[in-house]
Structure 1
Amino acid sequence: MRTGIIRLAAASALLALPLASATAHDFKVGNLELKHPWSAKAPTVAPVLGGYLVIVNTGTEADRLVGGTTPAAERLELHESSLADGVVRMRPAKQGIEIPAGGAVSLQPGGAHIMLVGPKERPPEGGKFKATLQFEKAGPVEVEFVVQAKAPQPAAPDDHGGHAKP
């Protein structure tokens, strides 16, 4: 009987590992959930790196991503992109990036994103680097960006990834 209980406990622990690792790359501060921060693998001569993630606001008040810091670059900036006359233009998001109450914002290539200017590190694919993101109301939160070769695939329809705005 005792051996059976030990085996059952061990099996339960092993089954829980994939669940833990699946959510281990999400972060939370206040009413904000920061999902899968990532950065594209960059060439060694790239003067900037991009940072991307989805920010979900489960609260009843809007919040705003206003900046951040990272030891991986000289500075961290928030940028927004727009398409005008067939040309994509990127500019600093001087007012930060609003995360609406009960909504989500997807920071992604070609849209609003985090720009790491003057990279000091260039982790290889699968590597990681830390950053502290600063929110107007929720305050600071330390996150870890994972370096990937390309953008992650869209979430399955039954996943909560569908909450993000394009």
Structure 2
Amino acid sequence: MVHAFVAPTEKVGSDIPLHLTVMNRAAEADALVRFRCPFANFSERVTVDKGGEGPPSKRPVQTIAVKAAGETALTPEGMHVMLLQTRQPLVAGERFSCSASFRKAGAMEVPVEVRAAN
């Protein structure tokens, strides 16, 4: 995993998107089934529906597909993880260790940095 970050926020109780690029070196596709961070009470896997009338809307999904032998970027414009109800202000430069669970690869620690989006 590379490029895991969240934007800074001063407000406790915020819902913030996680920016994450998943590197899958396996020959088989996988799926992200859970993501936990110590600074958020919950997480939710979501996709952004852009079809239909009105502005794009977020919809929860059970898993997020990770393609085989390559990178899958999870961004707020498509499939991504929302970290819900932050427990503390998040200051640029802070780093946290979070946990991701994948259907095939299992659980792994993920370093997450607090920084402004590019």
TM-score w.r.t. the length of structure 2 is 0.88
**Post-superposition offset of 1:122:** 2.4
2:101 to 97, 117, 134: 134
2:110 counterpart residue number: 143
Bigger fraction of residues in helix: 1
Structure 2 distance, partners of 1:76, 1:130, is 15
Distance 1:45 1:70 in 2: 14
TM-score, L = length of structure 1: 0.64
- Cα pair 2:42 2:83 within 8 Å, conserved: yes
Aligned length in residues: 117
Q: Which runs of 5+ in 2 are unaligned?
A: none
Bigger relative contact order, structure 1 or 2 (CA pairs below 8 A, ≥6 apart): 2
RMSD over aligned CA atoms reads: 1.6
Runs of 4+ off more than 2 Å: none
Q: Deviations over 1:102-151 (max 9, x none)?
A: 23210112221111111112220111222100000101111121111223
Give 1:93's match in structure 2, choosing from 61, 68, 79.
Answer: 61
| Contact 2:12/2:86 (8 A) holds in 1 | no
Which of the two has greater strand per residue? Answer: 2
Contact 1:123 1:129 in 2 (8 A): no
Unaligned runs of 5+ in 1: 1-33, 152-166
Measure how far apart 1:87 and its partner are.
1.7
Q: How many Å apart are 1:73 and its aligned residue?
A: 1.0
Q: Bigger radius of gyration, 1 or 2?
A: 1
- AA aligned to 1:92 is P
Q: Distance in 2 between matches of 1:48 and 1:62?
A: 29
Shift of 1:86: 5.2
% identity of equivalent residues: 30
Contact 1:41 1:124 in 2 (8 A): yes
- How far apart are the structure 1 equivalents of 2:13 and 2:40? 12
